[in-house]
Structure 1
Amino acid sequence: MESQKDRVKLDVGGKKFETTATTLASGGRTSFFGAMFNDDWNLHSDGSITELFIDRNPEYFGVLLDLLRTGELYIPRKIDKKHLYREALYYGIEDHLRLAKWGPFDGNRLRLAESIKGPTKAKAEKIRASPNSWCCVVRDNIVSVYNWMLEEQPTITTCDYRRVNDVCWVNSDNITVSSSDKYLASEGIGLFSASTGELKYNFQVKDEDQLKDYTAGALGVGSDYKLFSSCTEITNKKNGIAVWDQITGKQTDFLQYLPYSKATKLQWLQGTNCLMAATCHSESKCSINLFDFRQNTVALSWSDATDQRMYKDAIAIEERNSICIVDSHENLGFMDLRSTTSSIEWRSTTRDNIYNPYPKLAFHEGQLLASLEHTILVYCGPDWVPTSQLQPSHGGLIWDLSIGGDRLFALYWNIDMFDVWETPRP
């Protein structure tokens, strides 16, 4: 039985509610109700029943209060879901609503939740998921941002309408965009607000303490607020990777790179404090380099000397000490991260009759996902056995994949549309 001291009376938009401090505290310290408690989670009161007026819609509040009471979400038909999500955001309990709506990411249990069509007839180019279930889509010189309710936010537009080369979520609130002018090839790397599209500041490229005219390419983020971008100097085609401090915007390092190996993908490895830089496209040889920031050395350097395969994507799987590579015939290969003279072990059967120019890889907590032809396969276990197969809604080729915030986002080729996959609650 709840004590008199634990009871709380609420007047929401003129409708009376009565609950307990325990129920409100389940919203968490950062929620709307967190300010009602002191550091010991006791109500700020004189011992009498606490009463609070909240000037919000009572119908939506009732649904959210039941969510805090039971951990389960029931939405009556008359309730607008997106309005309910906005109310959850106001009360600071959107995480509770997400957890009640879907469970932790599991590739073998994913279900198609929604398909989002873009505003253009041309194809979109890249999709990136954020840590809090948002995503952004690159369309030529703009970046469209969608919140976790899949509502489009203010568009991010590059300076002088430069073409976007890559995008990267720095955190849940900010996006970094690299772009270049197709005529002048001038570089641009900017940090933007995900919710407003506002440009916060630009990053400049320096080599030997001199400002350089570089094109900016692949982006990545690391620990200690590091930001990385592959760069190519316009005059002498020298390649490198610039490193900045995200907080100050100042460049802290510039890593030299082989002339023929402009990095197309950057990935930070948290446990080993290394940066993987991979080149995977048909115009040049494939190469993979691992930069060790603890020793300031190259821990791994590999390139395809035969140039017989067309490598399309690579992803480091640190918990398995390996790098996975996929080629244009949808073969998966694995390389040992710990070896300085690594070779690729191909574990899938060659399908010479299949040619897919756009296979992509994604990884999340022991599960490897690959877009192969018109499906997405999920691989698990020590031998990467295929355990499930996802059928996209449109039935076309997948252009890009991204996992974030317990969601899978799949972008189509040659059509401005992407699918959103979620894991149902058990």
Structure 2
Amino acid sequence: MAHDRVHLNVGGKHFVTSRTTLANAGRGSMLAAVIDENWQLVPDIASNELFIDRNPAYFTVLLDLLRTGELHIPPGMLEKPLYREAEYYGILDHVKAARKGPLNGNRLDCVASISGRATGDGTAIRASPDGGCCVAHGSMVHVYDWLMEEKTPLTLDYVNVNDVGFLSPNRVVICTGERENGAGGMASFNTKTGKIEHKFQVVHDGESKNFTAAALASNDIHVYASCRGRSYEYGVGTWDQITGRQVTFLYEGPGRPLGDACKMQWLPRTNLLLVANLFPSSDHCFITLLDSRTKGKVWSWTDVALRGTADEKIVMDTVAMEECSTVCVVNQFDNLGFIDMRTNNQGVRWSHRYQPSKISEAEERCYSKLACSGSQLFSSKNDSVYVFCSPDWDASKGVQTARLRRKEGGAISDISVGGDRLFVLHNEEDVFDVWETPGPSQIVDIY
């Protein structure tokens, strides 16, 4: 009907569309303002057209996306400017949804390989919630947006980075070691400006203490980090993300080694914090689930009883699959193990996928790393990532369903999942790969 039509003039080209189509842009978008009675823009009186001073060629593609839900980009059109136009109109999420689907480990394509900036010392890679990532290189952190364009590098004044993670697409928090001059600890940075937002402090008896921040995790409100210092600062600290102030500090106790933890993970469904001491920072593995509300331990597992027995295995990495109520571990032989989170002191169900090798090799090569997404488990070994899926939510019954491998890059030193992407950091050539599931639109590679 005529009253449903909307006349637009974009950069001198005339468009006629419907209010229904523009409504697909979603509330809060620039295009929604055209039809919102509270924010409706005033058209030209003579032509009855609303003028938008933007490139009409890109608008043609974006309007078709709103009409069909599919993204079709003509040959020769530059795609990064198209995405910037989509951001202007407030429909970048629509473009992302059309370009890549939800993460499916069985249908992943390698869409990009990014060369590092510091050869051979890439130590950690972390995914951003919007599909970007950051890579720790010694005392530097390089941050990339979802288009894999690098932002301002973060330099830590020659203090080695122990862990790094995203608080939001534009905020990262970095853990570092302590130096004699007192530098180190943990701080959050604005990735757009490269400047420090907060330097998190450990306060004991009203005094700020120097400390080393090892591993970290976060939720929507708080930041958590394992801390060790020169006196009382051994445990897990909690800080407010907005103010940067310490909320609480959970000190170590008997059977609860927390300060040397090298892996932490927030579990949103149960509001629990996984804290793990792993090789090589610890001779024994201790995995603990903490309730931040009661400041107490609700579940734990350790391999102390296994040492010196035929079942001795060194745990190298761990991840909690909350949907499966399972803590997954991997040992020095690249065997996967599964522990039931619902039962304390439960044994490990090991899967023997590979022939054992010398235990000493755990110190000589890139050992396996774990990541998960829902009921999908990702495990690296040498230069490949293996995907395991379980149809009945029992992770220990999962079977290998895919193997992801590139011909170049060398052994894998770290992996991370987030923003519907899998990121794989290689050690020998200091390259990281971006894997994603193709979306419904058939478009060419953007990189």
Tell me, yes or no, whether TM beats 0.5: yes
For 1:220 and 1:96, locate their aligned partners in 2 and report how far apart those are by CA, in whole Å: 29
Bigger mean CA deviation after superposition, 149-158 or 189-198: 189-198
Residue 331 of structure 2: aligned partner: 327
1:167 aligns with one of 152, 164, 167: 164
Residue 387 of structure 2: aligned partner: 378
Cα-Cα RMSD: 2.4
Tell me, yes or no, if the aligned pair for 2:134 and 2:141 is still in contact at 8 Å: yes
Residue 60 of structure 2: aligned partner: 62
Residue 291 of structure 1: aligned partner: 290
* Uncovered stretches (5+) of structure 2, i.e. residues with no partner: 441-447
Q: What does residue range 340-419 of structure 1 map to in structure 2 within 5 Å?
A: 340-353=344-357, 357-381=366-390, 382=394, 383-394=397-408, 396-419=410-433
Q: CA deviation at 1:311?
A: 1.6
Residue 10 of structure 2: aligned partner: 12
Tell me, yes or no, if the aligned pair for 1:130 and 1:171 is still in contact at 8 Å: yes
Tell me, yes or no, if the aligned pair for 1:328 and 1:357 is still in contact at 8 Å: no
Specify the code of the residue in structure 1 equivalent to 2:238: V
Any idea what the Cα deviations from partners look like across 1:307-355, whole Å, max 9, x if unmatched?
Answer: 4422211001111111000012110111121222232221334521485
2:186 aligns with one of 189, 195, 201: 189
Tell me, yes or no, if the aligned pair for 2:176 and 2:185 is still in contact at 8 Å: yes
Question: For 1:409, what is the secondary structure of its paired residue?
Answer: strand
Residue 421 of structure 1 pairs with residue 435 of structure 2: yes
For 1:30 and 1:166, locate their aligned partners in 2 and report how far apart those are by CA, in whole Å: 35
For 1:242 and 1:140, locate their aligned partners in 2 and report how far apart those are by CA, in whole Å: 24
Specify the code of the residue in structure 2 equivalent to 1:165: N
Tell me, yes or no, if the aligned pair for 1:261 and 1:286 is still in contact at 8 Å: no
For 1:39 and 1:313, locate their aligned partners in 2 and report how far apart those are by CA, in whole Å: 55
For 1:319 and 1:61, locate their aligned partners in 2 and report how far apart those are by CA, in whole Å: 41
For 1:126 and 1:117, locate their aligned partners in 2 and report how far apart those are by CA, in whole Å: 14
Q: CA deviation at 1:216?
A: 1.1
Residue 218 of structure 1: aligned partner: 215
Any idea what the Cα deviations from partners look like across 1:71-118, whole Å, max 9, x if unmatched?
Answer: 111111221111111111221111111111111110000011111112
Change (3 A) 1:202 1:419: same
Bigger mean CA deviation after superposition, 70-79 or 257-266: 257-266
Q: CA deviation at 1:182?
A: 5.0
Q: CA deviation at 1:123?
A: 2.8
Residue 256 of structure 1: aligned partner: 251
Residue 206 of structure 1: aligned partner: 203
Residue 134 of structure 1: aligned partner: 132
Bigger mean CA deviation after superposition, 286-295 or 97-106: 286-295
Tell me, yes or no, if the aligned pair for 2:314 and 2:331 is still in contact at 8 Å: yes
* Uncovered stretches (5+) of structure 1, i.e. residues with no partner: none
Question: For 1:128, what is the secondary structure of its paired residue?
Answer: strand
Tell me, yes or no, if the aligned pair for 2:257 and 2:277 is still in contact at 8 Å: no
Q: CA deviation at 1:198?
A: 2.4
Question: For 1:99, what is the secondary structure of its paired residue?
Answer: helix
Bigger mean CA deviation after superposition, 349-358 or 80-89: 349-358
Residue 280 of structure 1: aligned partner: 278
Tell me, yes or no, if the aligned pair for 2:41 and 2:50 is still in contact at 8 Å: no
Residue 75 of structure 1: aligned partner: 73
Identity %: 41
2:36 aligns with one of 35, 38, 43: 38
Tell me, yes or no, if the aligned pair for 2:258 and 2:275 is still in contact at 8 Å: no
Bigger mean CA deviation after superposition, 369-378 or 292-301: 292-301
Specify the code of the residue in structure 2 equivalent to 1:368: L
Bigger mean CA deviation after superposition, 74-83 or 252-261: 252-261
Residue 300 of structure 1: aligned partner: 299
For 2:233 and 2:23, locate their aligned partners in 1 and report how far apart those are by CA, in whole Å: 57
Tell me, yes or no, if the aligned pair for 1:371 and 1:377 is still in contact at 8 Å: yes
For 1:256 and 1:67, locate their aligned partners in 2 and report how far apart those are by CA, in whole Å: 54
Tell me, yes or no, if the aligned pair for 2:236 and 2:259 is still in contact at 8 Å: no
Bigger mean CA deviation after superposition, 265-274 or 205-214: 205-214
Specify the code of the residue in structure 1 equivalent to 2:250: L
2:228 aligns with one of 214, 227, 232: 232
Bigger mean CA deviation after superposition, 327-336 or 343-352: 343-352
Q: CA deviation at 1:365?
A: 1.7
Tell me, yes or no, if the aligned pair for 1:331 and 1:351 is still in contact at 8 Å: no
Specify the code of the residue in structure 1 equivalent to 2:347: S
Tell me, yes or no, if the aligned pair for 2:211 and 2:233 is still in contact at 8 Å: no
Tell me, yes or no, if the aligned pair for 2:226 and 2:237 is still in contact at 8 Å: yes
Specify the code of the residue in structure 1 equivalent to 2:115: K
Tell me, yes or no, if the aligned pair for 2:334 and 2:367 is still in contact at 8 Å: no
TM-score, normalization by structure 1:
0.92
For 2:179 and 2:277, locate their aligned partners in 1 and report how far apart those are by CA, in whole Å: 21
Tell me, yes or no, if the aligned pair for 2:228 and 2:259 is still in contact at 8 Å: no
For 1:283 and 1:29, locate their aligned partners in 2 and report how far apart those are by CA, in whole Å: 49
For 1:379 and 1:314, locate their aligned partners in 2 and report how far apart those are by CA, in whole Å: 15
Q: CA deviation at 1:425?
A: 2.5
Question: For 1:248, what is the secondary structure of its paired residue?
Answer: coil
Q: CA deviation at 1:37?
A: 3.4
For 1:182 and 1:212, locate their aligned partners in 2 and report how far apart those are by CA, in whole Å: 12
